[in-house]
Amino acid sequence: MGGNGSEVRHITSAEVTMHCRKSGAVLLVFGLSHASMAKAQARPRARELGVAPGVFAPGPLDAITDVAGVLVGQVTVDEADSVRTGITAILPHAGNLFLQRVPAAIVVGNGFGKLLGSTQVNELGELETPVLLTCTLCVWKAADAMVEWMLSQPGMENVRSINPVVGETNDGYELNTAIRSRPITASQVRQALTSARGGPVEEGSVGAGRGTRAFEWKGGIGTSSRHVPASLGGWTVGVLVQTNFGGVLQIMGAPVGRELNAHKFSRALREKADGSIMIVVATDAPLSDRNLKRLASRALMGLARTGSVASNGSGDYVIAFSTAPQVRRQRDAARLTTTEIGNTEELSALYEGVIEATEEAIYNSLFRATTVSAKGGTVEAIPIDQVKEILARYGIRPGQNK
């Protein structure tokens, strides 16, 4: 909800124009004023700074939505001076996921977190709901709202069990100090789900990343993808992250965190939870849940490349799924008939791709994030000009890795 009691959500420019014509109102878009939105659009993605990890090329959008069928919806929730949070929804396809399930797996790097639904996903090897990301104390409200939304769908009249998958990071410090009020609503969850679409994904201080911080700077939502060459299968792997964790930032090996002196706050941070990261991995490669688990474990290698140490208070989770139609699972089907990738070199190429995409998605979450203030304080966006200077000293410059 906005400070005046109105809902803050993602809307199109056409909706902005129509509403303003009707009411003369000044609206918030994606939870930001027009000035703030322009500032967010001015902040670069990693590749604009010459930061392009790895050897494989990204997809056309360099986003998780490069994987055919994947949809993302986000709602940013700002309320008065003490709520800065939101919801990010990731849908593997546009159909009913309960009736047309996708193979999936979850890997835990460090388990200080609340990832609802994980045991059933790993027991059965399938995902039967969208994936929601939100704040720590909003997990159960988000799950309840998603279950209610799914039960209302056609074909669900006799359903008596649903396994909602909801992940979180804890934004309840400087920015979301009213986290104890569990400040999301069922209507906001439905909005995130129903507004999900393909195409470019908004990054930075939006959705579930509104109140987060990473490496002592403003964190948020980031995404990236990699396309594996045709000789190795021609598959695409995409990653979306919600960053809220610590460590000493390094960017393609450059000691950016050390040179920015971001680690000077580490003593104060030891007195509270260290944050977390949620990593969602999608691929169009026809993988079994077993091989999706192997793929998910490699995403943690991309996390490590950025300087994370998966500290004691961090919840580091990876959710991976395949959108390939030939491995989709029909509810109550008599048997599974699938054509999966076996243990071949194509798997190794996907492993490389997910490591690269995870690393770049984390950088995008930092670079695209804007400074956010609330009652508890201000979390500054990472200073792009200083980062560019540091990267240049280590031979990383804009334009060299597009």
Tell me the per-residue pLDDT of 214-256, one tens digit each, with 9 for 90 and over. Answer: 999 999 999 999 999 999 999 999 999 999 999 999 999 999 9
CB within 8 A of 35, min separation 6: which ones? none
Which pLDDT score is estimated for 336? 55
Residue-level pLDDT at 42: 83
State the pLDDT at residue 330: 86
Phi first, then psi: give them for residue 237, nearest 5 degrees.
-130, 130
Instruction: Kindly state the average pLDDT of the residues 363-390.
Output: 97
**pLDDT reported for residue 119:** 98
Check: CB of residue 229 under 8 Å from CB of residue 349.
yes
Pick from 124, 108, 122: which is nearest to 167 by CA?
108
Mean pLDDT across the chain, nearest whole number? 88
pLDDT tens-digit profile of 288-331? 999 999 999 999 999 999 999 898 889 999 999 999 999 999 87
Q: Give the pLDDT confidence of 48-104 residue by residue, as tens digits.
A: 999 999 999 999 999 999 999 999 999 999 999 999 999 999 999 999 999 999 999
The dotted CATH code for 44-393 is 3.60.70.12
Where helices occur in 200-344 by DSSP H, the ranges are 256-260, 266-269, 289-305
pLDDT digits (tens, 9 = 90+) for 116-169: 999 999 999 999 999 999 999 999 999 999 999 999 999 999 999 999 999 999
Plot region of 142 (φ>0 → left; ψ -120 to 50 → alpha; else → beta): alpha
Domain ranges for the chain: 44-393
The predicted model scores a pTM of 0.89
Q: Which is more confidently placed, 78 or 34?
A: 78
Distance CA 363, CA 46 (A): 6
Residues with catalytic annotation? 276, 314, 316
The string over 284-308, giving b where at least 16 C-beta atoms fall within 10 Å of a residue's C-beta and e elsewhere, is bbbbbbebbbbbbbbbbebbbbbbb
